[in-house]
Amino acid sequence: MTQHQRSLESIQRYYGEVLQSSDDLQTSACCIGATPPRHVADALGHVHDEVKARFYGCGSPIPPTMKDVHVLDLGCGAGRDCYVLSQLVGANGSVIGVDMTKEQLAVARKHRDYHAKKFGFANVEFREGFIEDLRTARISDESADVVISNCVLNLSPDKTSAFGEIFRALKKGGELYFSDVFADRRIPPDVAIDPVLRGECLGGALYWEDFRRLIAAVGCRDVRTVERRRVAINNPDLEHKTGLIEFYSVTIRAFKLDLEDRCEDYGQAAVYNGTIPEAPNAFDLDDHHRFVAHKAVPVCGNTADMLSLSRYAPHFEIIGDKSIHFGLFDCGSPPTPTVGNAAAPIKCC
Ligand SMILES: C[S@@+](CC[C@H](N)C(=O)[O-])C[C@H]1O[C@@H](n2cnc3c(N)ncnc32)[C@H](O)[C@@H]1O
């Protein structure tokens, strides 16, 4: 058996046998208490209790304006986010959840009829497969409008293949929106192989700079941080093992677009129409781009493309084009956090 297979088996055992509910987790790395937006909280209220009890995510990777969208949830677990999305995409949208752990999928599938009856339509499917090779779950090229994932990519022993597969599965202009655990440095091998730390989403946490390089290597040269919170481990033994490493739960947005590796200035501006139902006053693209409705905001070429070549296009007017280049664009910095457990900003644009 290869190291890759051993690693996957250890994760399958952790999520299939060791954990029976979120109460069994040994740290707060999964299940960080981020408050979801109101429309997500409302949809969560309709999800079956057994599904919610097996939630091991670390954020709320559900972007706005999801009606009629075709979504892929990688490492869907017991299906909590899939059943939330089912309601948001509606009868004309669809949700495919992919996971490799039979026990997790069994809980997700057990409640399919319950949710179909409650929502009045059945638009969710759960498929067994590996995120490093989505063909194992019969996911075809350019089939998803949006790919989400909640606390899964850190667990992958082959993250390059996993991100490569995401961009294969996304349609052109499609959006990757995921929450995961990141570290402020590369994880040393003794921490990385510890089965509990790995299972608890810490051992495989991505070091931001390596993540940025990795995702650029699969074709995505500009990723945006939407939200970032410090992870409190709250377990003295595991804190001792991880030492000075700081962990963060981060929600990331990226698009399948041909973007530049720096923010370049073409003199463009974006105006948000205020037409996204969940965001009538302002749309936050990331942690330092807030578009207040009806106000023109100067943007770099990449931001202009994200807003005009994706499913956000009907909600924005872009002023100007790329015919004249004015040099590098200062994309600004995320706000300095003031809340107790928030982290120092990462500049990612
Ligand atoms: C931390 S749990 C998160 C589950 C779910 N996203 C949630 O929010 O409750 C990680 C899930 O990813 C699945 N998983 C981990 N590595 C995987 C891989 N390489 N391929 C497919 N599924 C994987 C596990 O089986 C587990 O269900």
Confidence of residue 25 (pLDDT cuts 50, 70, 90): confident
Q: Is the pLDDT of residue 117 over 70?
A: yes
The pLDDT of residue 337 is 44
Confidence of residue 345 (pLDDT cuts 50, 70, 90): very low
The pLDDT of residue 342 is 38
- Ligand 1 centre from 99 Cα, in Å? 6
Q: Is the pLDDT of residue 304 over 90?
A: yes
Q: Is the pLDDT of residue 261 over 90?
A: yes
Which atom of ligand 1 is nearest to 104's Cα? Answer: 27
Confidence of residue 4 (pLDDT cuts 50, 70, 90): confident
151-172 pLDDT tens trace: 999 999 999 999 999 999 999 9
CATH code assigned to 262-349: 3.40.5.100
The pLDDT of residue 335 is 58
- Ligand 1 centre from 152 Cα, in Å? 5
Which residues does a 6 A CB cutoff place in the pocket of ligand 1? 8, 11, 15, 30, 55-57, 75-77, 80-81, 99-101, 104, 130-132, 150-152, 155-156, 201
Domain chopping of the chain, boundaries: 3-255, 262-349
Question: What superfamily in CATH does domain 3-255 come from?
Answer: Vaccinia Virus protein VP39 (3.40.50.150)
Q: Is the pLDDT of residue 141 over 70?
A: yes
Residues 231 and 247 sit within 8 Å (Cβ to Cβ)? yes
User: Which of 204, 219, 208 shows the shortest CA–CA distance to 163?
Assistant: 219
Rounded to whole angstroms, how far apart are CA atoms 108 and 103?
9
Supply 10's token pair.
């250890």
Q: What is the pTM of this model?
A: 0.93
- Ligand 1 centre from 260 Cα, in Å? 32
The overall average pLDDT reported for the chain is: 92
> Residues near 69 by Cβ (< 8 Å), separated by ≥ 6?
89, 93, 145, 146, 311
Which atom of ligand 1 is nearest to 81's Cα? Answer: 8
Q: Is the pLDDT of residue 193 over 60?
A: yes
43-66 pLDDT tens trace: 999 999 999 999 999 888 999 999
Mutate which of 99, 130, 198 for ligand 1? The one with the most ligand atoms within 8 Å of its CB, which is 99
79-100 pLDDT tens trace: 999 999 999 999 999 999 999 9
Confidence of residue 14 (pLDDT cuts 50, 70, 90): confident
Confidence of residue 29 (pLDDT cuts 50, 70, 90): low
The pLDDT of residue 20 is 76
Percent of residues, the chain, with pLDDT higher than 90: 80
Confidence of residue 218 (pLDDT cuts 50, 70, 90): very high
Q: Is the pLDDT of residue 255 over 70?
A: yes
Supply 18's token pair.
């060791």
The pLDDT of residue 349 is 34
